[in-house]
Structure 1
Amino acid sequence: MKVLITDEISQEGLQPLLDDPRITVDVQLGLPVAKLHEIIGGYDAIITRSGTRVDPPLIDHAERLKIIARAGVGIDNVDVEYASNKGIIVVNAPFGNTNSAAEHTLALLLTLCRNITLANPSLKSGEWKRAPFTGHELKGRTLGIIGLGKVGGRVALRAKAFEMEVLVHDPYIAEKRAEDFGVKLVPLEDIIRYADVISVHTPLNDETRGMIGTEHFAGMKNGVIVINCARGGIIDEAAMLAALDSGKVLGAGFDVFSEEPPASELVKQLIAHPRMVVTPHLGANTFEAQKNVAVDVSRELVNYLDGRPMENAVNIPRFDPDLMDHMRPFMGLVSQMGDFLSQLAPANPEKIIFTYNGKLARYDCAPLTVCGLAALLNRHTEVEVNMVNARLVARTMGMVVEEVRTTETESFSNLVTLAVHTPEGKRTIAGTLFEGKVKIVKMRDFHTDFTPEPHMLVISYEDRPGLIGKIGTILGEENVNIGNMNLGRRAKAGEAMVVFSIDSPASEDVVARLAEATQASFLKQVHMASVS
């Protein structure tokens, strides 16, 4: 295997490649794009950081390329979809910098509490002042961690070593994981209300963007400290600046920003605030972290040569062609079911059971299980979840995954059922293929018959005359067109579940109006990224 390295990579971390006689390593830094296009066709793998754009033109020139390895977490510089279409595996190193990021979180926190950034220049200027820099101890204070992933977990352990009380909010982990860390799993409202220090450790996506805003700052303790070493944009920066100006927040430590480097006046003002301690995205910038990510991607290349699973692949590797041809339609089914259920199920899943009924159960259904598991988890983790690493991610999150197969079936030749068990109860969804189309035929104990579409509403309420009309009126007044509707109920005037497909997303105000009009016991808007 010939490997091209185009960015600065820790030489020590490349040792697994250098020690393998099957691998030839060629380091060529700072190549012009034209030259890179000229030579890439002679390589089987490329290792980059953020300095090389692995885009379609480069991939088109890479006739032999089998692996793209990003020595770091982010893969913004890699066109993963295009690489996948070409059958090229993309791997990254999502865990190599976790310790570095956790330590940087504590570094910002301690710097704030002990006024180090203020005392240091004062003393260097020749002053000897102590009273203005009186600080705060961490012992006995309550730390609220949002996101108990790899970094959040390490921050929790270190905070406990400082004798802090630790509260954690993470709706996508099991309670057992929190117990393993000796911390208490609580709703976000409790973090906001009780924490003396709040630190975020979530991925940045549609769900987490701006998740800490003006209304959250209003509910925090006076003198709270806020830390963000995760991703810029998780904390609303305008609300953060206002909270600092008002004195609500004692101080904040940010390593990440919505703009890097900063361009807008808002971000520049936030960075310049006297009670902000800031660093230019240094969370992963330690020699140890750079070595670790290099080791991680090097080992993945060796795993590929040895035919072993690649745990950090961010796209789906190809299965046995004969099995794939048979399973592909059902992989689409279970993926849509997992994506749908992930948006409806209660927080903190403990167990996920995949049940296969009918002719399908005669085959090895493991590819279906990992595909559905990836769809269930992928919205809620800081790591890209795929068919290779889905079981590992679930185990890390404290979940038990079970698979049941039986050729017995009542109504359908093939039926797939997903059941998610949580402390609040169980959520179940069942689906099948009808003339090649995905059909959801059961939700909880309601019989249904609908095909997932990009925008949907799921509503449960006590059935009463006129409610369907009210729902239609409210949606119509907001120019939200109903495409299809499926109603399930147990008995007349009993609990009903209705699923609408709508042509465009409904606003939060519309959802609130629907909840009030129907007195809904459950109402969720579902956005199906896997459906076009």
Structure 2
Amino acid sequence: MKIIVTDEVTGEGLALLQRDPRITLDLRPGIPREELLEIIGGYDAIITRSGTTVDKALLDAAIRLKVVARAGVGIDNVDVECASAKGVIVVNAPFGNTNAAAEHTLALLLAACRKVPAAQASLKGGDWKRAKFTGVELRGRTAGVIGIGKVGGRVAARLKAFECEVLACDPYVSAKRAQDLGVRLVDLDELCRTCDIVTVHTPLTDETRGLIGAAEIARMKPGVILLNVARGGILDEAALLAGLESGQVALAAVDVFSEEPPATDTLKRLVAHERVVVTPHLGANTQEAQVNVAVDVSREILAWLDKAPLENAVNLPRFDAALMGQMRPWFRLMAILSEFGLQLMKGNLDRATFGYAGGLSHHDCTPLTVSGLAALLDRMVEQPVNMVNAGLIAEQMGLVVEEHKSTEGGPFSNLVTLTLEGGGSSRVVAGTLFEGTPRIVRLRDYAMDFTPQEHMLLLHYEDKPGRIGRIGTVLGAHDVNIAFLNLGRREKRGEAMVILSVDSPVPPAVVAEIGRETEAGFIKALHLPSAAGIG
């Protein structure tokens, strides 16, 4: 796997990749865009920070690209929609610099309130003046935090430690999250009208761009303190400058700008304003954070190489990180069921239904459904399919995908059932995990119980004495060894369903011979790559 690193990323984090013999790492921080466009087609992954724009032009040129890794939280420099359409996974490091950003927010707030930068400049200039640098305290003030996710939640906790009353505005969090943080959820209008301090901690999206503008600032208390340590553009900088000049805004602290470095007249005036504390996008710039984000994205790339679930892919459905460990084995089962069921289909696939019963039904099973869908489509279309583009490809094909849940798993604590429909027929295969090992426990309406293997043979016929022996005789004559055999039937001398695991593929001529010897109504040699190596 060839990886190019186009921005400054700490070597401690990249060491994970450099030690892996499967990876060739090309360190090219600051590479000119024209040169990057020329060579990106030779790489499987790109690691960036905020200095590289991964847009459609770059993605079009990156014909081998599988992963875009953003060593940081924000992904506004990555065209995620275009990457998703191309099946390129976008990962970031949402937790690595969380603490750094929260601490920097409080550092800027305290610096603004206590006029630290101006006081320092005065003292270093030879003056000893105190009265003009009289500050204000945080204790007893009402602080509003817009966005109480990873960073905002930590900021809220720290503001409470300074004895602030904290209000929060976030339409995407539960009341329990706010309760756990000890803050009160309000809408944006109430937050603006009520708070002495307002700080934003949301991603930059179409919804949040210009979220705090002239109208919102006008509704705020006279003398409000405003902070933006999230993303440039969330707080309208022209409106902030106007608020400072009118006195509506008493103090401001800004770490991020809509243009970096600031070049417009408005931004230059904002940076120079005497009541504004500014830093050049330093929220994540701690030694610890730089190592953390590099390690996090390196681990995601290694997980992709190992075909393990990704925890921080922004364009993949994912489980809560706390559940990921216990859910990992189910991804392999989903791939096996999909490979198994699709090979039994005769006509075009029209509908795929994923059913979850028992304990699984209490969790978000979307990642399992998408992984199973990707395994299905990967055998149906020529283009590469993964969890990123599986839904889009299914939609383009007109394939109906459904998900059903039931708390009743019958004799199993957890059960996954895949039903495939098309061409007037349907196929049903169900499985579970026994001590972490995939097992198939149902085929059509037959109760079965076997461990799937890479090479298998499935057939059904009228149950008569000697037919199993004929199967063994034919396979033995062609040097195909049987590992195990499982028989399912509903009644004596009725239809029997037989599944065999074999040590090597069964040639088509041998399959046909067995079919004749057993008068099989159906016979199929199966290849299940996802089951390779199961004991």
Counterpart for residue 20 of structure 1 = 20
Report SS of the residue matched to 2:159: helix
Q: Does structure 1 conserve the Cα–Cα contact (< 8 Å) formed by 2:212 and 2:236?
A: yes
Structure 2 letter corresponding to 1:97: N
Choose 1 or 2 for highest CA Rg: 2
Matched, 1:189 2:189: yes
Q: Residue 232 of structure 2 aligns with which residue?
A: 232
Give percent identity, aligned residues only: 62
Provide closer, same or farther for how the CA distance between residues 309 and 241 of structure 1 changes in structure 2, counting only shifts above 3 A. Answer: same
Pairwise mapping of residues 358-397 of structure 1 onto structure 2 (< 5 A)?
360=353, 366-367=365-366
Other structure's SS at 1:314 match: coil
Counterpart position of 1:151: 151
Letter in 1 for 2:185: L
Instruction: Return the alpha-carbon distance in structure 2 between the equivalents of residues 83 and 90 of structure 1.
Output: 7
Structure 1 residues 133 and 73, CA, compared in 2 at 3 Å: closer, same or farther?
A: same
For residues 315 and 122 of structure 1, do their structure 2 counterparts lie closer, same or farther at Cα, with a shift above 3 Å needed?
same
- Call closer, same or farther: CA 1:225–1:302 in 2, change over 3 Å: same
Match in the other structure for 2:3: 3
1:32 CA drift (Å): 5.3
Cα pair 1:111 1:117 within 8 Å, conserved: yes
1:277 aligns to what? 277
Q: CA deviation at 1:181?
A: 0.9
Alpha-carbon separation, structure 1, partners of 2:223 and 2:34: 55
Q: Report the residue type matching 1:49 in the other structure.
A: R
Q: Provide the C-alpha distance between the structure 1 equivalents of 2:352 and 2:14, rounded to a whole number of angstroms.
A: 48
The answer to whether the aligner puts 1:242 opposite 2:251 as a matched pair is no
User: Are the aligned partners of 2:355 and 2:404 in contact in 1 as well (CA < 8 Å)?
Assistant: no
Does the CA contact (< 8 Å) of 1:367 and 1:387 recur in 2? no
The equivalent of 2:527 in structure 1 is: none
Conserved? CA contact 1:370–1:387, under 8 Å: no
Deviation by residue 1:427-454 (Cα, 9 ceiling, x = unmatched): xxxxxxxxxxxxxxxxxxxxxxxxxxxx
Write out aligned runs for 1:477-496 (5 A): none
Q: Residues 46, 362 of structure 1: CA spacing in aligned structure 2 closer, same or farther, 3 A cutoff?
A: closer
Structure 1 residues 150-182: Cα deviation after superposition (integer angstroms, max 9, x where no partner): 110010111122222211111221110011111
Kindly tell me the number of residue pairs found equivalent between the two proteins.
Answer: 350
Could you tell me which amino acid in structure 1 is paired with residue 180 of structure 2? D
Q: 1:233-382, aligned counterparts within 5 Å?
A: 233-316=233-316, 360=353, 366-367=365-366
What is the Cα deviation at residue 58 of structure 1? 5.1
Per-residue deviation, 1:114: 0.7
The structural deviation recorded for 1:310 is 1.1
Counterpart of 2:8, as a letter, is E
What SS class does the counterpart of residue 282 from structure 2 fall into? coil
TM-aligned CA distance change 1:12 to 1:248, over 3 Å? same
Deviations 1:94-144 (A, max 9, x none): 332222211111111001111111111111121111111111121222211
CA distance in 2, matches of 1:30, 1:2: 18
TM-score if structure 2 supplies the norm length?
0.58
- Confirm whether residue 166 of structure 1 aligns to residue 191 of structure 2: no
Distance in 1 between residues matched to 2:54 and 2:218, nearest whole Å: 44
Structure 1 position 46, deviation (Å)? 2.6
Say if 1:309 and 1:240 are closer, same or farther in 2 by CA, change over 3 A: same
How big is the shift at 1:198?
Answer: 0.9
- Equivalent pair of 2:354/2:369 in contact (CA under 8 Å): no
Q: CA RMSD in A?
A: 3.6
Contact 2:74-2:203 at 8 Å conserved across structures = no
Measured in 1, the distance between the counterparts of 2:352 and 2:43 equals 44
Aligned-partner Cα distance in 1 for 2:85–2:211:
34
Cα distance in 1 between the residues matched to 2:120 and 2:46:
44
- 1:137 paired to 2:137: yes
Q: Distance in 2 between matches of 1:238 and 1:35?
A: 36
State the alpha-carbon separation in 2 of the partners of residues 238 and 146 from structure 1. Answer: 20
Distance 2:223 2:311 in 1: 43
Give 1:191 deviation, angstroms.
1.7
Unaligned runs of 5+ in 2: 318-330, 343-350, 358-363, 371-385, 389-402, 407-535
What amino acid does structure 2 have at the position aligned with 1:210? Answer: G
Q: Name the SS for the 1:277 alignment partner.
A: strand
Query: Is it true that 1:101 corresponds to 2:116 in the alignment?
Result: no
Residues in 2 aligned to 1:65 and 1:26: alpha-carbon distance in whole angstroms: 14
Q: Which segment is superposed worse, 296-305 or 313-322? A: 313-322
- The answer to whether the 8 A contact 2:68-2:88 is kept is yes
Go from structure 1 to structure 2 and tell me whether the alpha carbon gap of 1:387 and 1:180 turns closer, same or farther (over 3 Å shift). Answer: farther
Cα gap change, 1:405/1:235 in structure 2, threshold over 3 Å: closer, same or farther? Answer: same
More displaced, 217-226 or 129-138?
217-226
Residue 288 of structure 1 and its aligned partner are, at CA, apart by 2.0
- Secondary structure of the corresponding residue to residue 69 of structure 1: strand
Query: Per-residue displacement from partner, 1:1-29 (whole Å, max 9, x unpaired)?
Result: 33332332100112322343443433244
- Aligned residue in 2 for 1:124: 124
Opposite residue 264 of structure 2, the aligned amino acid is S
Cα distance in 2 for partners of 1:73, 1:233 equals: 16
